[in-house]
Amino acid sequence: MDNLPKCGANYVPLTPLTFLTRASKCYANRTSIIYGGVRFTWTQTYERCCRLASSLRSLNIVKNDVVSVLAPNVPAMYEMHFAVPMAGAVLNTINTRLDAKNIAVILKHSEAKVFFVDYEYLEIAKKALELLMMFDFGKSKTSDMPIMPLVVVIVDIYSRTGIRLGELEYEQLVHQGNPSYIPEEITDEWDPITLNYTSGTTSDPKGVVYSHRGAFLSTLSLILGWEMGTEPVYLWSLPMFHCNGWTFTWGIAARGGTNICIRNTTAQEMYTNIVSHNVTHMCCAPIVFNILLEAKPHEYRTITTRVQILTGGAPPPVPLLEKIERLGFHVVHAYGLTEATGPALVCEWQEKWNKLPSENQAKLKARQGVGILTLADVDVKIFKNMHSVPRDGKSIGEVCLRGSSIMKGYFKNEKANSEVFKNGWFFTGDVGVIHQDGYLEIKDRRKDVIISGGENISSIEVENVIMRHKNVLEASVVVMPHPRWGESPCAFVILTKNSSQVKEVDIIAHCRSNLPGFMVPKKVKFVEELPKTGTGKVQKHHLRAVAKTFVVLEKSNETSKKTSQVNKEKPRYYEQTREKILALSRL
């Protein structure tokens, strides 16, 4: 019975490309894409992808070649998620918020053969290409000319401006292509489909490779985890360059839905499209909540049917969650990372929770939840011995994942691969706890955990408490070296407008009423803004560098006040002393 052979009928390699073929047959005349005044059906989208794929082949793109793209959420960007692998190639979407240098590093590392650039990004792309040329020349004068990617311009398909003579253009490639092109057959589902760079650091670029199998399975799991029904109307508020739109590039084809493409995630564009097209689903970083909430009256539109939002990153605070839900959105919280093909855990809502007070609901909603179905296992392991932590909601450990959603690996980076793949697990670098009901809650990035007197402190937990202070707009907590405790928390805080009366002692007193003593920040620094990455994440390494300078100051304070005497005193007393010192040493 185990010798029954695989054949073409019963063993078809898993690939999300089948979602498009299927959509073109089963949902032939349904609308696939709406972008301004442009509309396509699934038949048309399939045909356009065939055309583009055949044009790529005629540009000598072959199996496993990398095709890069720098573009916002326009139809071309969507189509390339199918067309590029249909030509056998690997799609590399580049974060549009990167600078020229980072783009150049990615183009070089990925060895991109073709580089599609939306007309809005031509300037930065040009600079990146100049840098790319210089990289290669700089290294070795004897080397060959650098192999520069062929550049294709994407002109806006709705308001067609900016075509220049002599340049290859996206629509031209689509137009010239063969509509009856037979897509490159995927014979091995382990073959690469996309390449996504996690960050633009020049020293160690990490190109995450997804397989056709992984992409297929993650797509199905996310539809299931979010309970997305058929015929969704999906607003592209999440950039497609984030883990291929958290797999929903492929997922909307699987569900026979409609993609609402938008060039900018402004309040106006989002509200107008939500209301005009009866959007049912959207994904976004929590920062988009603020954009929606801060819409000016002329930008705002009343939402009449509920819009499902899938969000990741730090759990939105309760008041924010309540505000956004009052507008007609329903938020589901997820946890993921590029290496896990986007969201890997989704906070599945339980019927019985509907009866709880909204404060409790928000707490439950802020948890990261349960692993999606293509994760074979999720575990939280104790750093020291790699045993699983008890499921008590308290014991902290590193979040480990295994299953079909996990990337093939980092491209040309064996060192990084050996660091994250250990003992049959992928180590996320995040720390968390598992609650008694099996739901996981992320506490921090492993490198952001503060170990104070042998106790683990989650910087996120401290941030959440500070954020609950009514005058606080934003907070970020990082490690600060400490002569006695090794490390201690240091908070950077943005106050709301007109809160100048709030002092450091107030924030510390607030923390003291809501946290165990060892978790209270030893230092609170008020700032005007926090350093952030292009994707809106706080760059804690910058803050850590600043926090280090505080310590030197404190050390000198300590010495001058001979606080080294307190070494044998009880922590509680010691903390009080320390705070007095801090109050004096306010920066």
Q: SS3 sequence, 291-332?
A: HHHCCCCCCCCCCCCCEEEEECCCCCCHHHHHHHHHCCEEEE
Report the residue number, 69 or 153, with the smaller CB distance to a copy of itself.
69
Amino acid residing at 82: F
Count of other CB atoms within 10 angstroms of residue 123: 11
CB of 400 to a copy of itself, least distance (A): 8
How far is 279 from 413, CA to CA, in rounded Å? 41
Report the residue number, 378 or 538, with the smaller CB distance to a copy of itself.
378
Report the residue number, 11 or 137, with the smaller CB distance to a copy of itself.
11
CB of 61 to a copy of itself, least distance (A): 15
CB of 464 to a copy of itself, least distance (A): 24
CB of 181 to a copy of itself, least distance (A): 17
Report the residue number, 224 or 295, with the smaller CB distance to a copy of itself.
224
Which of 135, 68, 75, 138 has the alpha carbon at shortest distance from 98? 68
How far is 461 from 315, CA to CA, in rounded Å? 11
CB of 419 to a copy of itself, least distance (A): 12
Residue 14: partners with Cβ closer than 8 Å, 6 or more residues away: 189, 212, 213, 216, 217
Q: Are 366 and 440 in contact (CB under 8 A)?
A: no
Which of 407, 453, 80 has the alpha carbon at shortest distance from 212? 407
CB of 234 to a copy of itself, least distance (A): 15
CB of 8 to a copy of itself, least distance (A): 3
Residue 303: partners with Cβ closer than 8 Å, 6 or more residues away: 271, 274, 275, 327, 328, 329
Residue 227: partners with Cβ closer than 8 Å, 6 or more residues away: none
Report the residue number, 202 or 230, with the smaller CB distance to a copy of itself.
230
CB of 24 to a copy of itself, least distance (A): 9
Report the residue number, 373 or 546, with the smaller CB distance to a copy of itself.
373
Report the residue number, 194 or 311, with the smaller CB distance to a copy of itself.
194
Q: What's the distance, Cα to Cα, between the start and end of the chain in Å?
A: 74
Which of 497, 368, 494, 341 has the alpha carbon at shortest distance from 430? 368
Please say whether the dihedral angle defined by the alpha carbons of residues 113, 117, 123 and 128, taken in this order, is positive or negative: negative
Report the residue number, 314 or 440, with the smaller CB distance to a copy of itself.
440
